[in-house]
Every structure is written in C-alpha cells, then in structure tokens.
Amino acid sequence: MKFSETDLICEDIMWFGIDKNGYIFECTSAGVGNVPSFVCESREETDMLEEYFLNTAAKTTVGKILIKDEENDLCNDCKTLSSKGIFCYDAVIEDNHHDYIKIAEPEEPITINDLPDKIKSIMESHKVDVDVTTEIDINVQHAYSDEEEQDSGYRFRQVICPFCKHQYMTRVYNEYDLIIKHNGELLYGWKDRCTKCDSWIYVIDNQLEGVDPSSFPEDEITEHFILR
C-alpha cells in the first residue's frame, strides 16, 4: 500500500535512506518534511525498516544527541538509532523549505553492507545524494513534487491557527480565494478550516500565522472568489 498525499500530512513517518557514501540515516517527517517517492511506494516496507532498525538491529556504537536530551519519543528513538550506527534527522520548515536537520549521530556509523540481505535489498533503492557525515541540513525531493502540484492546481503549505495555535499543513490552490486591501496594502490568500479547533481562518500568502477573519472589516475584502 502506498502513502497518499493526505497520509504525508496526517502522519509522522519515520523513513530511512543511504547517503552517497553508503551510510544509513533516518528522518522523522512530523507531517511536514518532504518524503521521497521510494518511501511512499510501500507502507509495508517502511514499517519493516522501522521495526528492524528500532527493535531488531543490534547496538554497535555510542550515539551522540545534538539537541536537548528530553524524555520523549523523538529523543528516545534517536538515542536508540544512533547507538546502532545511524544518523538521525528531524523535519523543520524555514522560509517554506521542507528540510531536515541532524539531531543525532553515531561515533562509528554503519553502512548498507552491514545490513542483512532482506533489509539491504530494500535500502538499495533508498539512495539520496547527500553526505550525512558533514551535512547538518539535508533536503530531499518530495514524492508529490512542486511540478505535480502546479499541474494539479494546488500546493501544500504550513499555517498556524490564530485561535488554538495549532500548526498544521494545508492544501491551497494556485488561484487565491480572497484579496484584502488592508492599511493600504494588498493581501492575497485563502479561506481554510483549522484541523484541530475547526475554526475558519484566513491563510495569507507568505505568512505562517493565520488570521482571524473578523480582523478585517467587510469593506476591506475587495474580492472574494473561488476558482476550482
């Protein structure tokens, strides 16, 4: 079974890749990180890799946590994986770039040649052109790329609800729903409904924070149209 576009937004996916030198790395998508096509092709293989690396593979080295060490699933998983020779990355969004930042690394990393045949055969298709020994931030091509999004008439972006402060990914269309003239400035955006509190909000282009629609007098909303 494949991961759909919706799955990538709703789920925190742990996926594994190999870098240009054959080292193993892990990424946690958190619903916002780019997830490559080789992961989306098979949910079963993704689950199998997570099960193997977290619960079956042996600890071979000392892991180093590069973030504040807290008692949570992210830190616990990274401590486990890095002690098994794996580099760990977590999703981060900055300036609309869906990158991953390194949060743990092993003293002595393992390579694809250290894996059992069944796991190795899956990982051989998980190659990414990065060097995890030197790169703090990495970027991968999303399975549902910008070109595909442009062709389909929409794209994904992140927004923070102004009411409950929930941060989530939403799908916005290439045509704006609304144009607002506010304090002499034109604002372009879309209407959206928060996935947590279910409130209607305005998503303004190039702004992370959503806006309460009541913030604008009706006469400032100069156009409000939907092109679907």
Strand partners, 173: 154
Question: Is residue 88 a contact partner of residue 103, using CB atoms and an 8 Å limit?
Answer: yes
Write down the pLDDT at residue 146. Answer: 53
Q: What is the pLDDT, as a whole number, of residue 7?
A: 87
Share of the chain above pLDDT 70, in %: 89
The lowest-confidence range among 62-71, 131-140, 142-151 is 142-151
Which pLDDT band holds residue 208 (cuts at 50, 70, 90)?
Answer: confident
Q: How confident is the model over 168-178, as a mean pLDDT?
A: 79
Residue 47 has pLDDT above 90, yes or no: yes
Query: Averaged over 4-17, what is the pLDDT?
Result: 90
115 three-class SS: coil
Lowest mean pLDDT among 2-11, 76-85, 112-121: 2-11
Rounded CA separation 22/200 (Å): 47
Contact 49, 15 (CB under 8 A): yes
